[in-house]
A and B are shown apart, each in its own frame.
Chain A
Amino acid sequence: MPSPVLADAVDTAAAAYRTSLGPTFESSAIAYATGKAHQLAGHPEAAWSTWVAALEAPSARGWPVMMNALVAVTLELDRVQQTVDHLARHADRLPELHLWVGVLASRVGDFSTAEVAFGHAEQRTTGELRFTATTERLQVLLALERLSEALAAVGTAIHQQPQHEVALRTSRAGVLNRSGRPADALTDLDRVLSIAPGFAPAWLNRGSALARLGRAKEAQDALAKAVQLDPTLAGPAAALAP
């Protein structure tokens, strides 16, 4: 049973904390702390209210840490639509919020809404947020079986953050396999394995590509290599075996 004593103590502490700091610090950062205190004190509703209210402040930021916390508590309280409404209301001013609209929508299986939201985030944010939006949109496009758009998205992601080339090219190879283009997949995987010969998922996708090309022995060897490097891939490898 949530304790009103704890809730009052959190509110009193929050007021004292804000007074101590004065106007120096951005208020939504402090609101994150207040919400976490409420959450840990057993009041997820108060945490939710604190975090959505924090977005009203003119200087508010969509701190990724706070937004991830808001997503978690939203799902716990089953308040997806309410949270999405709040986020959408502030998204013109805080375009990063589109990202978490997408996250929430995809968590409840509304991939169409998620794809649109991630698209907005991709267009209107920069840096890490933009990259996250792109890769999240990639996952949604795969869920929607929109494979050609998924290929475009993964290409964009590679362009944005080439340091993640190994994982992204491996993903693209998977999409190419699913698109019926195993020869193109092999081109990506050759590149990946020249950089990271011990990357087990690349061997798995290589096995899949070779199987699709009818090169059964090579496919079996590649799948065996994947399992040798990562025994947890034994199940997927068996399913792909020619």
Chain B
Amino acid sequence: MSRPAITLVNLWMTDPGQRYMPLGLLWLRASLEAAGYGVELRDLQFLTDEEREDPEALAARLDDSHGILGFSLMSNALPLVVETVRLLRLRRPERRIILGGPGPTTVARPLLDAFDWIDLVVRGEGEHTIVELMAALSSGDPSAPRRVNGVSGRDAEGTFHAPDRALVIDQDTLPSPRTDDLDLAAYSVYTTVTARGCPYTCRFCEIPSYESRRVRKRSVDRVVAELSQVWHDRGVRSVAFQDDIFLLSKPRVEAILDGLQAAGVALKWGGFARAGRVDPDWIASLSERGMQSVAFGIEAGSDRLLDRISKGLTVKKALTGIDTAVPYMHTRCFFLWGFAEETLEDFFGTLHAAFHAQILGAHPEIGHVVPLGGSPLYLSWRDGPLEYHPAYPFARVIVPPRSADLEGLVLAAPTVFSAHYAFPTPDREAKWTVAAKAWPADRSGLASAG
């Protein structure tokens, strides 16, 4: 019997105008293809906003997919995908549909409890899980998915949650993604990940809940080989390292850069760093070695609040880091407001830090904190219901539901769609009035420089 094929669907919905390579799906595809499965990749981020955010249109577009369909998504797209799956079920009841990625991973239990048309969720790192799940789905045994670690689902016996899958410690054991069929010029920048996981404990962030705090690295040789290949064969000249913190280990970054240099690869590049750990001499050196941009998560402008969210950063360290980086490279810094413990003074402290960063020459962006399903801040939340404020246009990663149907889903299942809600925060209206002026609806950055 021939192996079944799967259609993998990407619905990136974050930065208007930006188009990012579907890295998660490319990694899944590599593992599936190595195991002999046919994979069709559909990158739907190139649709118009209207079509991409219309479940009817998406369901119609996916009508001719393979018999197994996989969506990879973040929390922001969860209402859209849940509704799209419902419509697909009506059109194609026989189709097996798998949700995966950060969005469904952290809310798999309430997701299956709330929506009986969702029947398979891959939790966490998916490369091994999806391969085993494909085998289970083609085995003829309807209970086989229950025995695949990392899968939550529903079958005739009810819902199930198989044990978590062990993380892939040696990332080099995973087949490398291929990009030969991608039009790389269509994406904003070539992106890659050299390591998974973040060692920090920021309480608003859910990354450690599915990637762990243990940083699991690809070998330097693998990273250099990938970038060398796209430099020589695809004409790639710049890369955005999408590691949670790329400038985490100086020896490792230097080794990657040494490898690239030895391979004759002179990429321009950028990545995330910790503002509190910016070494002036190193940042100067990195700018000479192609680093053109850095991004810092600062979050708040008061030491009290930074401490409450376990950021591991002080205002002084944050601004010192920004001031150090600005002369050498494009420096983005991200701030959040709307924390439950954020006083009005904390809020204005955050504005101080953002505008201070701006006058130093950095590019600050202010967003609204959201209760991500796997974040410690949400998981420890015991102080009453979350709030729903669909009028806020500036929660950077959240696209408000575009229709009454989608909004109905969000309202019906706050534990599934917590990322579309807000923590109660003191003086919300006053903060909102100010933030709306500082953060215009076009999401292009802080309001005019003056």
Contacts and interface: CB of A to CB of B under 8 A. Distances in A.
Interface of A: 3, 5-6, 9-10, 12-14, 16-17, 20-22, 24-25, 29-30, 32-34, 36-37, 40-42, 63, 65-72
B353 interface: yes
B450 A40 contact: no
Given A30-B356, A32-B359, A65-B359, A16 B449 contact: no
Contacts of A21: 315-316, 319
Given A12-B345, A20-B302, A66-B359, A34 B430 contact: no
26 contacts: A3-B430, A5-B430, A9-B345, A10-B348, A12-B345, A12-B348, A13-B347, A14-B348, A16-B345, A17-B356, A20-B316, A22-B316, A24-B316, A24-B319, A25-B323, A29-B359, A30-B356, A33-B352, A33-B354, A33-B359, A37-B351, A40-B434, A40-B437, A41-B348, A65-B359, A72-B450
B449 A14 contact: no
Given A12-B348, A32-B355, A63-B359, 4 more contacts: A17-B301, A37-B355, A40-B434, A65-B450
B14 interface: no
Contacts of A13: 301-302, 344-349, 351-352
Contacts of A67: 450
Contacts of A17: 301-302, 315, 349, 352-353, 356
B219 interface: no
A5 B355 contact: no
B57 interface: no
Q: Which 10 residue pairs of A and B lie closest in terms of their CB atoms, listed nearest first?
A: A69-B450, A13-B348, A33-B355, A68-B450, A9-B344, A20-B315, A33-B352, A36-B355, A33-B356, A17-B352
Contacts of A42: 433
Nearest to B360: A29
A29 B315 contact: no
Determine which residue in B301, B323, B345 has the highest number of CB atoms from chain A within 10 A of its CB, and name it.
B345
B397 interface: no
B348 A37 contact: yes
A76 to B, nearest CB: 12
A40 B351 CA distance: 10
B292 interface: no
Interface of B: 301-303, 314-316, 319-320, 323, 343-349, 351-356, 358-360, 430, 433-434, 437-438, 447, 449-450
Determine which residue in B302, B346, B348 has the highest number of CB atoms from chain A within 10 A of its CB, and name it.
B348
Contacts, number: 99
A138 B303 CA distance: 48
Contacts of B319: 21, 24-25
A238 to B, nearest CB: 34
A12 B360 CA distance: 22
B320 to A, nearest CB: 7
A196 B430 CA distance: 50
Contacts of A36: 351, 355, 438, 450
Contacts of B358: 65
Contacts of B349: 13, 16-17
Contacts of A72: 450
B278 to A, nearest CB: 14
A37 B352 contact: yes
Contacts of B354: 33
A72 B351 CA distance: 19
A164 to B, nearest CB: 21
Contacts of B360: 29
Contacts of A63: 359
Contact of B438 (A20, A29, A40): A40
Nearest to A47: B450
B260 to A, nearest CB: 31
B345 A25 contact: no
Contacts of A37: 348, 351-352, 355, 434
A20 B301 CA distance: 9
Nearest to B348: A13
A44 B319 CA distance: 26
A72 B348 CA distance: 21
B434 A30 contact: no
Contacts of A70: 450
Given A14-B352, A32-B355, A68-B449, A20 B303 contact: yes
A112 to B, nearest CB: 26
A14 B352 CA distance: 7
Determine which residue in B344, B347, B433, B450 has the highest number of CB atoms from chain A within 10 A of its CB, and name it.
B450
A5 B249 CA distance: 45
Contacts of A6: 344, 430, 434
A226 B208 CA distance: 57
Contacts of B315: 17, 20-21
Determine which residue in B352, B354, B449 has the highest number of CB atoms from chain A within 10 A of its CB, and name it.
B352
A32 B314 CA distance: 20
A41 B353 CA distance: 16
A40 B344 CA distance: 13
Contacts of A3: 430
Contacts of A12: 345, 348
A65 B316 contact: no
Contacts of A32: 355-356, 359
A12 B351 CA distance: 13
B449 A65 contact: yes
B356 A25 contact: yes
A41 B434 contact: yes
A66 B302 CA distance: 22
Nearest to A41: B434
B344 A5 contact: yes
Contacts of B355: 32-33, 36-37
B253 to A, nearest CB: 27
A72 B447 CA distance: 13
B11 to A, nearest CB: 34
B305 to A, nearest CB: 10
